[in-house]
């Protein structure tokens, strides 16, 4: 791609891809996935700790038992939003959430 055209595209607000960008993104994607996995573990841990069934937790966050199962199974159809909602609804404390985040970040650097 010509440099001037690239500059014009960038000026207009477009994303411009490259192999390097792709590799970089993979590293960041891995970091996000690692974070999700940490939060998922925290959800199950928090739920069990408070002796809540999946149905109990589902009621608390107005979701369904099958969604909770999918959250804990790491199903790809589950968003970070939903995971964090579940973590909050499960009664995880400030410190629980913080610790999860910290532990995850420590792992992935």
Partner DNA sequence: TGAGTATATGTCGATACTGACATATACTCA
Partner DNA sequence: TGAGTATATGTCAGTATCGACATATACTCA
* Pairwise CA distance, residues 48 & 65, whole Å: 15
85 is an interface residue for a copy of itself by CB under 8 A: yes
Of a copy of itself, DNA, none, which one does residue 73 interact with (CB within 5 to 8 Å by kind)? DNA
Tokens of 74: 């790491």
64 is an interface residue for a copy of itself by CB under 8 A: yes
Of a copy of itself, DNA, none, which one does residue 97 interact with (CB within 5 to 8 Å by kind)? a copy of itself
* Pairwise CA distance, residues 60 & 89, whole Å: 6
- 92-102-66 Cα angle (round to 5): 40
Of DNA, a copy of itself, none, which one does residue 34 interact with (CB within 5 to 8 Å by kind)? none
Which member of 5, 8, 14, 49 binds a copy of itself (CB under 8 A)?
14
Tokens of 106: 């420590």
């Amino acid at each position: 791609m010509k440099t001037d055209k690239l500059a014009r595209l960038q000026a207009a607000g477009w994303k411009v891809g490259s192999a390097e960008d792709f590799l970089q993104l993979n590293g960041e994607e891995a970091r996000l996935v690692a974070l999700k996995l940490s939060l998922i573990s925290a959800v199950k841990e928090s739920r069990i700790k408070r002796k809540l069934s999946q149905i109990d937790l589902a009621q608390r966050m107005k979701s369904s038992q099958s969604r909770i199962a999918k959250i804990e199974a790491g199903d790809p159809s589950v968003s970070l939003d939903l995971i964090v909602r579940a973590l909050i609804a499960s009664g995880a404390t400030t410190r629980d959430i913080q610790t999860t985040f910290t532990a995850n970040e420590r792992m992935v650097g």
